[in-house]
Amino acid sequence: MKYAKVYFEDVQVGDEMPALVKGPIRQIQLTRYAGASGDFNPIHQDPEFAQASGMGGVFAHGMLSMGFVAQSVTDWLGAGTVRELGVRFTALVRLKDVVTCRGRVVGTSEKNGERLVELEVWAENQRGEKVVTGRATAAIPSRLD
Amino acid sequence: MAIQVNRGVIGKEYPAYVITVERGKIKEFARAIGDLNQHYLDDAVGRASPWGDIIAPPTFPITFRDERADAETLLRDLGVDVSRVLHGEQEFEVHRPIRPGETLTCRTRIVDIYEKAGRSGPMAFVLRETSIVDRAGDLVGTMRHTTVVRL
């Protein structure tokens, strides 16, 4: 369930994060993200420019996909829990693509009084190709708090 | 024609810049992603939260930029055209959530530039790191940004 509170004691290595499905990607979202982020690279807006660059047309900001991945973690574990998030952009996200964010718990630990959940995270398109791969660490509450 | 990236800028530190976190920009950013978490959007939820206000999503610091600097500075320093660059990797370390009204100081430096063979030919990887410090001098977060240049 979205935004349910998840406690450290309930998380086990191997658990899967609930999938988050975003898209289909539309040009208006890329324009909106450009305005919100300040990244006005025409490669995300201008089909002629994107073709001339040899990139085969407009594609989404990598940071938009990373924002989706961050959302997938916070939808599950809560806003304000993310301590680290690192990703590689492994394939381009195109207009009309559907991006599904997934993850899996790969470790749990305690550090500086915080209970940490370490996740392998990724996002894939509608053909199952990974467009983002990475790791996330989140600090979540304990039932003992 | 092969493109060269100017490796002479490894270690270069850019002038520190100060940003003020705007409430409306946090909400605009969350909505642009389609992340409707009420901790980012609803002031009343924020006030009742442990942070006392809305907070920014984890990737929000990507919006921090030096408004006085020329946006083309990095490309000029590297000696490459915008059409050659891609965002390769990105990392955020979050030491605490960012709230509206905060004044933060950002410092960026070029940590490394290295070349590798990519699937579609030779590529240069440019790693930049930005530290984000609050008024008390405490580190709020760190961003690491890897730009890929198609050579």
Number of domains in chain B: 1
Contact A122, A102 (CB under 8 A): yes
Pairing of strands B85-94, A114-124: unpaired
On whether residue B140 sits in a domain, the answer given is yes
Average pLDDT, chain B: 94
pLDDT attached to residue A145: 82
C-alpha A66/C-alpha A64 separation (Å) is: 5
| Whole-model pTM over 0.90 | yes
pLDDT band at B118 (very low <50, low <70, confident <90, very high): confident
- Closest residue on chain B to A59 (Cα): B86
* A chain contacts of residue B82, beta-carbon cutoff 8 Å: 41-43
On whether residue B53 sits in a domain, the answer given is no
pLDDT tens digits, A36-85? 999 999 999 999 999 998 889 999 999 999 999 999 999 999 999 999 99
* Secondary element (H or E) of residue A69: helix A62-77
Q: Which value, in Å, is the radius of gyration of the alpha carbons in chain A?
A: 17
Q: What is the least distance, in Å, from the CA of A65 to any CA of chain B?
A: 8
On whether residue B31 sits in a domain, the answer given is no
On whether residue B88 sits in a domain, the answer given is yes
pLDDT band at B4 (very low <50, low <70, confident <90, very high): confident
SS3 (DSSP) at A123: strand
**What are the CA-CA distances from residue B150 to residues A47, A54, B78, B84, B126 (Å)?**
19, 11, 12, 5, 11
SS3 (DSSP) at A45: coil
pLDDT attached to residue B119: 77
On whether residue B49 sits in a domain, the answer given is no
C-alpha B139/C-alpha A55 separation (Å) is: 38
Q: What is the least distance, in Å, from the CA of B60 to any CA of chain A?
A: 8
Domains along chain A with CATH numbers: 1-24+60-145 (3.10.129.10), 26-59 (no CATH)
* Three-class SS of chain B: CCCCCCHHHCCCECCCEEEECCHHHHHHHHHHHCCCCHHHHCHHHHHCCCCCCCCCCCCHHHHCCCCCCCCCHHHHHHCCCHHHEEEEEEEEEECCCCCCCCEEEEEEEEEEEEEEEECCEEEEEEEEEEEEECCCCCEEEEEEEEEEEEC
pLDDT at residue A17 greater than cutoff 60: yes
Mutate to test the interface with B, among A29, A82, A135 (most CBs of B within 10 A): A82
pLDDT tens digits, A106-132? 999 999 899 999 999 999 999 999 999
Determine the distance from the C-alpha atom of residue B126 to the mean position of all C-alpha atoms in its chain, rounded to a whole number: 14
pLDDT tens digits, B56-106? 999 999 999 998 887 788 999 999 988 888 899 999 999 999 999 999 999
pLDDT mean over B123-128: 96
Provide the CATH number for the domain around residue B18.
3.10.129.10
C-alpha B88/C-alpha A63 separation (Å) is: 10
Q: Residue B130: which domain range? A: 7-22+58-150
- Closest residue on chain B to A22 (Cα): B34
- Closest residue on chain A to B59 (Cα): A67
Dig out the tokens for A132 from the structure.
Answer: 């983002």
pLDDT at residue A1 greater than cutoff 60: no
* A chain contacts of residue B151, beta-carbon cutoff 8 Å: none
Across the beta sheet with B121-133, what order do the strands follow? A16-22, A99-111, A114-124, A130-139, A82-89, B85-94, B139-150, B121-133, B103-118, B17-20
C-alpha B40/C-alpha B85 separation (Å) is: 31
pLDDT attached to residue B35: 98
pLDDT mean over B132-149: 97
pLDDT at residue A31 greater than cutoff 60: yes
pLDDT attached to residue B107: 97
Of A3, A62, A71, the CB nearest to B33: A71
pLDDT at residue A94 greater than cutoff 80: yes
pLDDT attached to residue B1: 54
